Amino acid sequence: MVKASITGSLIGNLLLVLGTAIFTGGARYTTLKFNRSSAQASASTLLLAIIAMTVPALFFQTSPSMRRPAMTEALSLFVSGLMIASYLASLWFALRTHAHLYTIETTVRETNWSIRKAFTILLIATIATAWLSDLLVASIEPVALRLGLTQLFIGVVVLALVGNAAEHTSSIMAAAKNQMDLCLQISIGSATQIAMFVAPALVLISVFFAKPMNLVFNSFELVAIILSVLIVNQVVGDGESNWFEGLQLLLAYGIVAAAYFCMPSSAKENTRPSRTKS
């Protein structure tokens, strides 16, 4: 369920939130322009996230037998460490060495937190979100199941919708004011934060629990994430956008959500290596 939420939040932020924002902004302005350098930095971060998520899954699928579960676990932990290192480096990049690329945003937002304070709040917020997410599942599940929705669909689509409501609202408001850099930073920024910080942090923290989580996503999740990243990078890579590109992101989201709607919960191939198996 946690992995389904991660996939859902990633795809939701990349396709639904960004798509709605670009579509809304594009309905008002013929061309939406944004800073190409910071968009390119996000784009390469998303590609690194893809590599970090694909390599353990592929390792799990192609490497044989006995030593696999332990090795997959070890690889997940190592990759998670690298992802967090990359996330910290991206903060350094955005706040120190290349802060000039992000100045438009910093005038809009409150920025007098120290790095330390910001980091602590980020950590607390992450844990709180995970906890609230659990509460949310517990309360949404009975209703949704009675409506005939599968657990998987709830995890990927419904929870991601509810959980990203804040990003959704603020990024659309930014796009409506033609502040596309702020809009991108919220939507793509949330996606990279989930991929490069929240997911690996959960993997690292989970080693202290009975059932550790790994970074092995199933084929459907991976391909959906990879294709989402490719279309988003295409849309933002040239530094400008319009309503049609926003609509395309929304349609892409519709296609992925429809597939999850049709998919039975058991459809997900088992990606949890059982330690006892052979």
CB of 257 to a copy of itself, least distance (A): 10
| Comparison of 169 and 264: residue with beta carbon closer to a copy of itself | 264
| Comparison of 5 and 218: residue with beta carbon closer to a copy of itself | 218
| Comparison of 55 and 108: residue with beta carbon closer to a copy of itself | 55
| Comparison of 133 and 213: residue with beta carbon closer to a copy of itself | 213
| Comparison of 130 and 226: residue with beta carbon closer to a copy of itself | 226
CB of 101 to a copy of itself, least distance (A): 9
DSSP string, the chain: -HHHHHHHHHHIIIIIIHHHHHHHHHHH-S-EE--HHHHHHHHHHHHHHHHHHHHHHHHHHHS-STTHHHHHHHHHHHHHHHHHHHHHHHHHIIIIITGGGGHHHHHHS-----HHHHHHHHHHHHHHHHHHHHHHHHHHHHHHHHTT--HHHIIIIIHHHHHTHHHHHHHHHHHHTT-HHHHHHHHHHHHHHIIIIIHHHHHHHHTTSSS---S---HHHHHHHHHHHHHHHHHHHTSEE-HHHHHHHHHHHHHHHHHHHHS-GGGS---S--SS--
CB of 194 to a copy of itself, least distance (A): 17
CB of 127 to a copy of itself, least distance (A): 25
CB of 139 to a copy of itself, least distance (A): 28
